[in-house]
Structure 1
């Protein structure tokens, strides 16, 4: 039997990640895995999209620049360096217990590594890892690490993936971005989980405006904005889950 700590899309909200890990007793004060995590009693699954803050306000908080401008090369470099520093810390944590800490490849991670696409919307583009647009290329060490992330993992019949359980929702190509299925598959095709042979599924990618959603045999957990993550207790015959609240900054955890 294991406890799985599943944390939704990060989008550079690094302090909240560490508060969730501290709250779940998965990390110690040294920023390294706790004893239960090292032993494999606990498993950590990060759902991907480690990079790219969601909103301009999040870039301001990350960089400390109240006038953050996504077209200013100096500001882009500041945003890139802040994320690189924190990615190195996560890398150190993950590599200390690689068999028990899984980071799934999100589409934003894929875009940052490949440089093929500039993601964003009409209000905000994520240019900080695009040198041709004034940003900074990810260090090779981080590129190789991110490229090693799996697109999915299955534990005791429970599937974890960034978007969904089928191959076309795990391939970040032109079709992925041109269609609506990546955001909406769970509305009309929740049975993908059972059809792929899983007894339950845990996914991110689609922002849950009201917090973590448990629907039929799947959980949608892109809900860090609501200070939530998911814990599951799993073995061959057991599947229990709990939505956990992340304590506010400054809370004494242990």
Structure 2
């Protein structure tokens, strides 16, 4: 029996992530994994999208620039610098317990590695801080190499952790992915996908949950992009059982 602690999309809100990790007893005051994490009794899963604040207000909070302009190279420099600083800290945290700290590749992480896709928001904000062609900076090579090691899913028996959904097509962030609106709607329109994939339970992010973590009564999955709502997911898993999920709950912090 092991405890899995899953945290939703970060989007450069690292202060909230560290607060959640502290609340879950996964990080100590020095930024290192706690003894249960080092021993593998606690398994930490970050569901992806480490980079790119979600809106202009969050960019301003990250950078200290009152009116963040994604087309101002000076603003982009500060946004990139601040994210690099926090990514370095997170990389060191994972390196201290790589057997117990798992980071899934989100589409925003992938877009930093593959700058042919310029991501943005419906309000017109673009995420250009790591795109040199749009005034941003290259992600440092050692951080890019680290991100390339992120898996697209983590499986524990019949339990899957993935960024978007159980569909293999949603694990590759290409033209088809960005043209397919089901990536944001599958959990409402086709929740049976989890059982159809032969899974006993699934944990996913990508779609922001305004009301907190979603745990449907009739379908075995959790939608956990709710870090901004100050919730993470706790699962007790026994991989030796036919139904490995012994307990699951949304944990406030």
Summarize the alignment of residues 104-253 of structure 1 with structure 2, pairs less than 5 Å apart.
Answer: 104-121=104-121, 122-215=123-216, 216-235=219-238, 236-237=240-241, 238-239=244-245, 240-246=247-253
TM-superposed CA distance for 1:123, in Å, is: 2.3
SS state of the match for residue 18, structure 1? helix
Alignment match, 1:63: 63
Q: Decide whether the 8 Å contact of 1:156 with 1:234 is kept in 2.
A: no
CA distance in 1, matches of 2:231, 2:27: 17
Is 1:39 the counterpart of 2:42? The answer is no
SS state of the match for residue 149, structure 1? coil
CA distance in 1, matches of 2:17, 2:211: 19
TM-superposed CA distance for 1:188, in Å, is: 2.3
Alignment match, 1:8: 8
CA distance in 1, matches of 2:181, 2:70: 26
Q: How does the TM-score come out when normalised to structure 1?
A: 0.95
SS state of the match for residue 213, structure 1? coil
SS state of the match for residue 45, structure 1? strand
Structure 1 runs (4+) greater than 6 angstroms displaced: none
SS state of the match for residue 207, structure 1? coil
CA offsets per residue over residues 211-240 of structure 1, 9 Å max, x none? 110121110000112111101111033521
TM-superposed CA distance for 1:155, in Å, is: 1.6
TM-superposed CA distance for 1:67, in Å, is: 2.1
Q: CA RMSD in A?
A: 1.0
Alignment match, 1:18: 18
SS state of the match for residue 79, structure 1? helix
The alignment covers a number of residue pairs equal to 246
CA distance in 1, matches of 2:194, 2:99: 24
CA distance in 1, matches of 2:250, 2:167: 25
Q: Which moved more, 1:6-15 or 1:209-218?
A: 209-218
Q: How does the TM-score come out when normalised to structure 2?
A: 0.95
Alignment match, 1:251: none
SS state of the match for residue 3, structure 1? strand
CA distance in 2, matches of 1:67, 1:182: 31
CA distance in 2, matches of 1:14, 1:7: 12
TM-superposed CA distance for 1:111, in Å, is: 0.1
